[in-house]
């Protein structure tokens, strides 16, 4: 990734994308999308359609490589359900959901494209794609649209929050309350751009409900718990940040956790267990579960 910082030097009132292309001259307007560019104005996430004002601070981050055409690949995946509109997978831990810089092959999207072509007997497939994402190190249920209409139908349910997701996680420590809600705003951590953190101002709203399932005490001061997590929003790293905020980071979390003496080789213990969503052409919501 590359980053550029600067300040708006004119009162032209240009859109951010036009200002970056015509005044700054770093990337053309078409390249902003192709390079997965992200924009911060005065430290807050902003759209490229935003009009800029003299003196505002701009931070632009983009990929070194332009986005490439998706390549179909035969990969080992666990298919939970399929019909003419969707695939539902149990994504393996360690598999990237969608291609990006450094991960153009071997992703779930590559596998879904290959599987769709096999089902159709070859030829160009109607454009569908990833509807929601799971972090690379998170396993579990994920739905992929097989056509444009299905993609829009499913994406709307994530946007209006009618789609329901349940995760399970193994935590270091035990939450003080057996159930509760965590609600705050999250923004990229200014000290570490790989991380997100609660924001006193700005950021995006993030809401997570949780419920304690079981607990263990290996010895005094060494406790673990299994919890069910219900994200009501879908922010990047939301569940990981919220559990760390409770003082109970997820076991195996390299960003927000700490080295665990009893599970030193553990990877991220976070699993998307259940998804409830209405499928196209069906009258009732379906529930998919990954063991």
Domain 2-62 class, CATH top level: alpha beta
Residue 109's φ and ψ, nearest 5 degrees, are -65, -40
pLDDT digits (tens, 9 = 90+) for 55-64: 889 888 876 5
The structure's pTM equals: 0.76
- Residues 248, 262: contact at Cβ < 8 Å? no
CATH, domain range 78-160: 3.30.2350.10
CATH, domain range 166-272: 3.30.2350.10
Distance of CA 60 to the CA centre of its chain: 20
pLDDT digits (tens, 9 = 90+) for 165-218: 999 999 999 999 999 999 999 988 888 878 999 988 778 899 999 999 999 998
Which residue numbers are catalytic? 135
| Among the listed residues 111, 143, 144, the one whose alpha carbon sits nearest the alpha carbon of residue 127 | 144
CA distance 26 to 19: 10
Fold identical between 78-160 and 166-272?
A: yes
Give residue limits of the domains in the chain: 2-62, 78-160, 166-272
């Amino acid at each position: 990734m590359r980053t550029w910082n600067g300040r708006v030097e004119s009162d032209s009132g240009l859109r951010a994308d036009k200002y970056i292309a015509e005044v700054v001259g770093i990337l053309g307007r078409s390249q902003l999308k192709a390079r997965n560019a992200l924009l911060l104005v005065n430290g807050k996430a902003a759209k490229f359609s935003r009009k800029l004002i003299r003196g505002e601070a701009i931070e632009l981050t983009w990929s070194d490589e332009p986005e490439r055409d998706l390549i179909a690949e035969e990969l080992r995946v666990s298919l939970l359900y399929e019909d003419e509109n969707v695939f539902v997978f149990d994504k393996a831990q360690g598999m990237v959901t969608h291609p990006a810089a450094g991960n153009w092959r071997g992703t779930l999207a590559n596998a879904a494209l290959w599987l769709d072509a096999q089902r159709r007997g070859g030829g160009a497939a109607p454009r569908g794609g990833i509807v929601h994402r799971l972090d690379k190190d998170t396993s579990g249920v994920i739905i992929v649209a097989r056509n444009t209409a299905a993609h829009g139908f499913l994406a709307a349910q994530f946007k209006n929050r009618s789609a329901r997701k349940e995760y399970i996680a193994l935590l270091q420590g035990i939450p003080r309350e057996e159930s509760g809600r965590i609600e705050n705003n999250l923004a990229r951590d200014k000290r570490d751009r790989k991380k997100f953190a609660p924001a006193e101002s700005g950021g995006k709203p993030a809401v997570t409900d949780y419920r304690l399932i079981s607990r263990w005490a290996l010895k005094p001061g060494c406790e673990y718990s299994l919890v069910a997590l219900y994200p009501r929003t879908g922010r990047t790293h939301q569940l990981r940040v919220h559990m760390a905020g409770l003082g109970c980071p997820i076991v195996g979390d390299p960003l927000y956790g700490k080295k665990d003496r009893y599970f030193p080789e553990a990877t991220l213990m976070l699993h998307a267990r259940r998804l409830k969503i209405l499928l196209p052409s069906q009258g009732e919501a379906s529930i998919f579960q990954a063991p």
